[in-house]
Amino acid sequence: MAGAAVEPKGREWRAGSQVLALLGVPLNGLIVGALAKGPMSHAELHRELGNPAQTTLRGHLSKLESLGAVRRTPTVRHSLFAAYELSVAGQDLLVATRALEVWLGKSPQGPIPLGSEPAKGAVKALAGAWESMTMRALAGGPLSLTQLDSLIGSLSYPALERRLSAMRAAGLAAASKGRGRDGIPYVVTPWARQGIGPIASAAHFERQHMDLDTPRMAPIDVEAAFLLATPIVPLPLAASGVCDLIAETRDGSRRLSGVEVAVDRGKVVSCIARVGESPSNWVLGAAATWLGAVVHRRLEGLRIGGDRHLGCSLVYGLHELLYA
């Protein structure tokens, strides 16, 4: 079931960013989490959520209903006596909500409760960094603000400076040691890298339930996700070798994008944005299949060539890093 877009079409979205923005509004995630316990009347839900303003609660429930995530069964002709519950789509949105909770719980500044103002700020910073491709740029290595400005043409220098400041305040970016010719270089933090967890879960929901209203994973999105998360995946000590992680995307025509990963005794020693012409070891699948594999730890639909142990270890390692 395709739902309505959760924000105006005016801004430039990337895969996952619409659902991430939805869950960045504190009450939405809290509603989904509360209804995970079972159906509730409007009055019960109102009490469960700490008695928010009635008009605010009705507005958020209406948005979740339009998305197909919440369904209402009126018992009489009054919304206060309706029973609300999660639909099948709502259960999938719960997966994305839980992924966001897991990520917020790993904040370097201490666990952040879902629905809090700090959570709202962290999610906004993550979404802004993802949409603007600032995370993709920094995934390649330390960059100064001047260098970022030369790479990201979609934002003005002041707008980019605001995005980077928000990332630093939230703990998603930090100044690197030393000062280069173009100014202080910045790097993404391990917590920012793990932000691919809620982003991937959000993109997975969009493909399942908002396919007509949201952008698909573009090659640059695939590269960004792999470059950010793969370097810090936990792997078994027996894992060694070079493996390509490849996603098929359709951007007018079929395209392959991904990374070449070198592993030495359980540690990733390099992760480069390129796909070899004939790699010895590889994992290949459609972008949507990759989302399901990482989010749900399933290999169905992925094709694995060469060292199967190495390929499976990387897929399972991505899931463990992002969702354990």
Quick: pLDDT tens for 161-207.
Answer: 999 999 999 999 999 877 767 789 999 999 999 999 999 999 999 99
CA distance 186 to 91: 38
123 close to 167: Cβ distance less than 8 angstroms: no
In the prediction, which pLDDT does 10 show? 37
Instruction: Examine the pLDDT at 291 and tell me if it is beyond 70.
Output: yes
Helix, strand, or coil here: 203?
helix
Q: Out of 96-100, 179-183, 307-311, which region has the weakest mean confidence (pLDDT)?
A: 179-183
Threshold 0.95, pTM exceeds: no
Hey, what long-range contacts does 115-123 have (CB within 8 A, 24 or more apart)?
A: 115/26, 115/27, 115/29, 115/30, 116/26, 117/26, 119/26, 120/24, 120/25, 120/26, 121/166, 121/169, 121/170, 122/170, 122/171, 122/172, 123/20, 123/23, 123/24, 123/198
In the chain, what percentage of residues exceed pLDDT 90? 79
Between 181 and 279, name the one with better pLDDT. Answer: 279
Q: What is the mean pLDDT of residues 141-152?
A: 92
In the prediction, which pLDDT does 213 show? 86
CA distance 17 to 131: 7
Give residue 316's Cα distance to chain centre. Answer: 17
Tokens, residue 118: 């700090």
263 close to 239: Cβ distance less than 8 angstroms: yes
Instruction: Examine the pLDDT at 7 and tell me if it is beyond 50.
Output: no
In the prediction, which pLDDT does 253 show? 62
CA distance 140 to 128: 18
Q: At 80, is the pLDDT very low, low, confident or very high (cuts 50, 70, 90)? A: low
In the prediction, which pLDDT does 76 show? 55
Q: At 250, is the pLDDT very low, low, confident or very high (cuts 50, 70, 90)? A: confident
